[in-house]
């Protein structure tokens, strides 16, 4: 990995840790940290479709499921699901997206069961699951 790759990963890790901090301490994912990546994710999906990369459509599954569920998922989680879904789909297609969705729910559920709390921040689990799926599928 060259300096560009190192810088890109450093920015992604910093963004992830900042989002985790906000979600754990304030139970919010700030629009300033979720809207720009969500918009970039939508644009990236449209560009990929325009150049003949239909496997990227799987990226929209994650936010689509959260939108359809209607309960228990905050708006910040839905906005975060867009760029995470795009990255997972770009790295490993639909299997990576499905793995990340499943892992995020499992991790949040386990933390809720252990803590006894009915409400848990879900963003950290989403980020950890996306990083895990990305590493498994070859980032």
- Per residue in 15-56, pLDDT (tens digit) is 999 999 999 999 999 999 999 999 999 999 999 999 998 888
In degrees, to the nearest 5, what angle opens at C-alpha 48 toward C-alphas 47 and 53?
A: 150
pLDDT score for 120: 93
CA-closest candidate to residue 126, choices 29, 9, 5, 8: 29
Helix axis angle, 31-50 relative to 3-26, nearest 10°? 130
Nearest one of 11, 27, 10 to 124, comparing CA atoms: 27
- Positive or negative: CA dihedral 23, 20, 22, 4: negative
Q: Could you tell me the pTM of the whole model?
A: 0.93
> What pLDDT, on the 0 to 100 scale, is given for residue 1?
66
Number of domains making up the chain = 1
Distance CA 120, CA 75 (A): 14
Does residue 139 surpass a pLDDT of 70?
no
């Amino acid at each position: 990995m060259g300096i560009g790759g190192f810088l890109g990963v450093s920015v992604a890790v910093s963004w992830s840790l900042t989002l985790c901090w906000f979600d754990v301490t304030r139970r919010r994912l700030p629009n300033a940290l979720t809207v720009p990546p969500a918009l970039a994710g939508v644009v990236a999906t449209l560009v990929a479709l325009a150049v003949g990369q239909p496997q990227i459509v799987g990226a929209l599954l994650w936010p689509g499921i959260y939108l359809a569920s209607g309960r228990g998922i905050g708006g910040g989680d839905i906005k975060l699901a867009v760029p995470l879904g795009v990255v997972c789909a770009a790295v490993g297609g639909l299997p990576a997206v499905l793995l990340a969705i499943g892992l995020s729910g499992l991790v949040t559920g386990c933390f809720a069961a252990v803590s006894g709390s009915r409400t848990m921040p879900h963003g950290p689990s989403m980020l950890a699951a996306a990083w895990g799926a990305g590493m498994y599928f070859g980032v």
